[in-house]
Amino acid sequence: MKKTSRTKKLTPTDMDKDIVREKVWMDTKLVDTSCYHLDNKVTYALFKSDSDPSVIPENFAQEHALDTHSCVCFSGLLHKLISGQPNRMYDRLEVQKCTTSTNKFLLTPEERVEWLLLAKKHKMLPPYIDENAITDIPEGQRKSTKVTRYGTSTTAIASGEFIIDLEGLSPVVLYIYLSTIRNIREDPGLPRAVTYLVNKLGMNFFAAYVFASRAVLNLCGHHTIDIQRPYGLSKSGYDEALQQYVKLPADQSIMEAQLVPLEVAIGLQRVVSDVPLKYDTRRIVAPDGKAVRFSSYSFNCADTIRGISKVKHNVSFQELFDEDVVGAVMSKDDAEGRKFLDKYLNKKDRIKYKEVSK
């Protein structure tokens, strides 16, 4: 993260002085509290192969006669792993356009690439994933699909195929990988908000992920963490162009008042940055060649992430830019995390924010 007037380190002579920082301005059209969770669908298959997961020939699933499963979520995935000893997973994503105002939330091709690149950089996806895997479907080849739960028809406008190497992965890390891809279809507001906060404002990725979850997600049932937008944060208003009531983005002051748990950002960072089996010791691929056995067929992703760190503190949007808060987020253990948090708390009362122009 770039060093700015809001992240400048202190010297000993500064210890009794007020710390004046510029208030960070946020574009609430990009960190949008009016976002909705969109249509659910996953298509995947499990298979055994020694092939390079980065190479996916055209019509891969059909040519290899994969037994694909299409459903609303990955809830049955772990149960399907108990036999056959698959070491690869095929995952196909379709981006859907609906006949409602929710289309404004869809990502552009450039935003899709930006999200996948950012996720790979921060180990939310494996490095072999192709950031250009999702491509637009030509207009003449687009087909309408069944009516959704919102009572509207949908059309697939883009699609992509991914292969994930299951060797050395735990269910928690696999769920993070799959959810990072699925966000593009189901919760595009999250990738848009995170990439804006990180690439434009310079926020730490894991801090941005947690804050964006608090701001833009109206449901977290398919999310990696158990954080979503509080009820009532987004107000309704009448849209003259659409001739209907819609949710409106919250203003800056409301967003600044939202607090996020520091321990969740810490836990997310550690679970993807360390050895994948450190915090979830369940192996998806058994090393002895025997069938996989799980005591539970739940991914346990959100609970695992929240329970990793005992360094707990609720922080606001402006505080997430502080170098010591970032140090706590990126800490390797709780002793280091506590040291950084204590440094922040010791200076917190001296920090004053000044308004700046947009």
Is residue 121 scored above 50 in pLDDT?
Answer: yes
**Residue position matching structure tokens 């055209």:** 58
Q: How much is the pLDDT for 125? A: 97
Q: How far apart are CA 129 and CA 163, in angstroms?
A: 8
Q: Measured between alpha carbons, how far is residue 202 from residues 43, 186, 320 in Å?
A: 35, 25, 10
Residue 1 confidence class, pLDDT cut points 50, 70, 90: very low
Q: How far apart are CA 358 and CA 28, in angstroms?
A: 12
Q: How much is the pLDDT for 35? A: 87
Q: How much is the pLDDT for 133? A: 95
Residue 254 confidence class, pLDDT cut points 50, 70, 90: confident
Least confident of 32-36, 80-84, 205-209, 348-352: 80-84
- The residue among 64 and 182 whose pLDDT is bigger is 182
Mean pLDDT throughout 248-275? 89
Q: How much is the pLDDT for 340? A: 98
Q: How far apart are CA 102 and CA 119, in angstroms?
A: 24
Is residue 11 scored above 80 in pLDDT?
Answer: no
Q: How much is the pLDDT for 148? A: 55
Q: How much is the pLDDT for 149? A: 55
Q: Please, what is the average pLDDT of the chain?
A: 87
* Burial class of residue 60, CB neighbours in 10 A (0-12, 13-18, 19+): middle
Is residue 10 scored above 60 in pLDDT?
Answer: no
Q: How far apart are CA 154 and CA 192, in angstroms?
A: 21
Mean pLDDT throughout 85-91? 92
Percentage of the chain lying above the pLDDT 90 cut: 58
Mean pLDDT throughout 197-215? 97
Domain boundaries, the chain: 12-354
Q: Is residue 109 within a helix (H) or strand (E), and if so which, with residue range?
A: helix 109-121
Q: How much is the pLDDT for 249? A: 75
Q: From start to end of the chain, where are the E strands?
A: 19-22, 42-47, 69-71, 88-98, 135-136, 144-145, 154-165, 235-239, 244-248, 259-261, 314-316, 351-354
Is residue 13 scored above 80 in pLDDT?
Answer: no
Is residue 266 scored above 50 in pLDDT?
Answer: yes
Q: How far apart are CA 213 and CA 196, in angstroms?
A: 13
Q: How much is the pLDDT for 296? A: 76
Stated pTM of the model: 0.90
pLDDT tens figures, 149-173:
555 678 889 999 999 999 999 999 9
Q: What backbone phi and psi angles, to 5 degrees, belong to 305?
A: -60, -45
pLDDT tens figures, 41-86:
999 999 999 989 998 988 888 878 888 999 899 998 998 887 768 9
Q: How much is the pLDDT for 12? A: 47
Q: How much is the pLDDT for 257? A: 86
pLDDT tens figures, 220-243:
889 999 999 887 777 777 766 666
Q: How much is the pLDDT for 129? A: 97
pLDDT tens figures, 14-26:
566 899 999 999 9
Residue 261 confidence class, pLDDT cut points 50, 70, 90: very high
Mean pLDDT throughout 196-200? 97
